[in-house]
Structure 1
Amino acid sequence: MVRIGGFLAGLAFVSALLVAFLMPRDAAVVTAAHEFHREPKEISYSFDNPVWGKYDRQQLQRGFQVYKEVCSACHSMKLVAFRDLEEIGFTKPEVKAIAKQWSTEVPTINDKTGEPTTRKALPSDYFPSPFANETAARAGNNNALPPDLSTIAKSREGGAHYIHSLVTGYADQAGYKNEEGEELLKKFPDAKTPPGLHFNPYFANLNIAMPPPLAAEGQVTYADGTKATIDQMGTDVAAFLMWAAEPKLENRHRTGIAVFLFLLIATMLAYGSYQTIWRDKKH
């Protein structure tokens, strides 16, 4: 009896898997995402070299400006403090001014009344979230939760290249083709982007809740006079987010070079010692 029950339970489980596998709508969506998804664009960054790579401070400052003026309205960076900006070339007075002028104030407690309140940010504060909590964040973004960007460049395959491709890669779904020239909506009519979402071939399932963040050239005015094209802004903000996710990259590279040189010298000394000690022992 137990064997029969086990057999029937197994049969039901296998049948459920088979039905789920053969569902045409789900299969079409997965296939569309697989066939029309694009890999990140290959662009050149100064920090890409695994040995000599280093950050371009001017680029990082431009990227911070893009984050501040475009991204910070929705995305937090709760692991980055204002004083960390000194590492990318800002002076202490500049950091103090940036913190004081930040659009979102820091939540705190009133010493006199004990009631929750807010205050201007200090260099020691971390970048404040633009929303009070997750509920408020979802309410302001069509129920989508904007991810924290502190480590986004390390938590997404492709890193800075993926971020650059994503923020600059929005496209018109109508007439969009794959490398073979096939049109997405002609091959997969059910794959049309739902209302409230936006088509982006660099996103995993092709449809993303975030509207195009870089909508037009000149969206920011760079302090160093660099022309703010969409590609330039995407390149710069991706570099800044890479620094935020791995601020010690240059130190790691320097340490690696020092260790390599130490091991090389130690190997040469060890070989020289071996030759000296065993020179008269060989037969």
Structure 2
Amino acid sequence: MVRIIGFFIGLGFVGVLLLSLIVNGVDSIKNPPPATAEEEFHLGAKDVRFASDGAFGRFDREQVQRGFQIYKEVCSACHSLKYVSFYQLKDLGYNEAEVKAIANQWAIEVPTVNPETGEPSTRKALISDRFPSPYANETAARAANNNALPPDLSLITESREGGAHYVYSLLTGYRNQQGYRNAKGQELLKEFPDVKTPAGLHFNPYFANLNIAMPPPLTSDGQVTFADGTKSTVDQMAKDVSAFLVWTAEPTLENRHRAGWVTMLFLLTATVLAYLAYRNLWANAKREVSVRGPLEPAFRERMNEQKAERGIAG
């Protein structure tokens, strides 16, 4: 009796859950939740071409060097590159003397300890050092940036959807919120009057929640003077520093692509050789198919003999 009662109680519980699911599902279809400002006004990354894109991608050394110059003169004051070492700059075309000079002249010195006093100190960077952080710790970083923590840029193009395209879009995407309209022609502050950008933040529709703590880092053409004479427009600078951050995130990209294509060529060649060897060894081989079962002549002969011995007709 107890089992029967328990069965009906469980059945009723399942029925209530199923009814609730159906009712809530129908209600969500008939009365969908209102769209948010982020859903209506957030923009995806712009479609821009980088030399490193695709299976045949490679680095444009001149562009990546310009990107490094932008990082050095603009971005390094707030953002670290904790997974990149100075010696890796050789891959960008700098010789050892140039890399040593870059490390020695880096504006931020490397934290160390004075061997004579045991007190915290700093020293000039060496070629073997990683790029030093502009802040001593997270607390100092937040204190200098209105409690916002500037992200490390070493892997930024790998950790953000859209990669370099997202970085480029963000750098060139700052807008005036007043009167801003989306592709549908909707005006942001008329549709969502409560989403006005707070003080200390900056409106950028390419950022996930539309408001970012970082002020526009690239503010005007000519902000950086490129050594190769390239015109430094905001668009050009954004592309160059994005290309540089692709390299910091994946400095072995070109080697990986080369190894991949060599591996594919090897596997293709091995497959063709294996097929040709198979054809050469087995092309003239004849498969001998023998009859098995009741229709086999030897089997029928034995059966007839056994029937005769036992006096069985047929």
How does the TM-score come out when normalised to structure 2? 0.80
Match of 2:190 among 169, 176, 186: 186
**Structure 1 partner of 2:36:** 31
Q: For residues 178 and 93 of structure 2, what CA distance do their matches in structure 1 show?
A: 44
Match of 1:217 among 210, 217, 221: 221
Letter in 1 for 2:59: Y
Unaligned runs of 5+ in 1: 8-13
**Structure 2 partner of 1:162:** 166
Report SS of the residue matched to 1:38.
coil
Cα shift at 1:175: 1.0
Match of 1:74 among 54, 71, 78: 78
Letter in 2 for 1:191: V
How does the TM-score come out when normalised to structure 1? 0.89
RMSD: 1.9
Q: Deviations over 1:180-202 (max 9, x none)?
A: 11111111111111111100000
Report SS of the residue matched to 1:274.
helix
Query: Deviating runs (4+, > 3 A) in structure 1?
Result: none
Matches within 5 A, 1:131-280: 131-280=135-284
Q: Deviations over 1:167-223 (max 9, x none)?
A: 111001111111111111111111111111100000001000000010111111101
Q: For residues 286 and 127 of structure 2, what CA distance do their matches in structure 1 show?
A: 67
Q: For residues 264 and 134 of structure 1, what CA distance do their matches in structure 2 show?
A: 51
Aligned length: 261
Q: For residues 279 and 84 of structure 1, what CA distance do their matches in structure 2 show?
A: 55
Structure with greater Cα Rg: 2
Cα shift at 1:49: 1.8
Report SS of the residue matched to 1:118.
strand
Q: For residues 177 and 94 of structure 2, what CA distance do their matches in structure 1 show?
A: 41
Q: Deviations over 1:247-272 (max 9, x none)?
A: 11101100111011101110110110
Q: For residues 34 and 94 of structure 1, what CA distance do their matches in structure 2 show?
A: 48
Between 1 and 2, higher relative CO (CA 8 Å, sep ≥ 6) is seen in 1
* C-alpha distance 232-282 of structure 1, shift in aligned 2 (>3 A): farther
Percent identity between the aligned chains?
A: 64
**Structure 2 partner of 1:46:** 51
**Structure 1 partner of 2:120:** 116
Q: For residues 282 and 144 of structure 1, what CA distance do their matches in structure 2 show?
A: 78
Unaligned runs of 5+ in 2: 1-8, 14-19, 288-314
Report SS of the residue matched to 1:261.
helix
Q: For residues 153 and 160 of structure 1, what CA distance do their matches in structure 2 show?
A: 5
- Are 2:69 and 1:61 aligned? no
Letter in 1 for 2:49: S
Q: For residues 283 and 38 of structure 2, what CA distance do their matches in structure 1 show?
A: 67
Q: Deviations over 1:75-134 (max 9, x none)?
A: 001100111100011111111111111111001111111111100111111000001111
Cα shift at 1:282: 4.3
Q: For residues 69 and 107 of structure 1, what CA distance do their matches in structure 2 show?
A: 21
- Are 2:96 and 1:92 aligned? yes
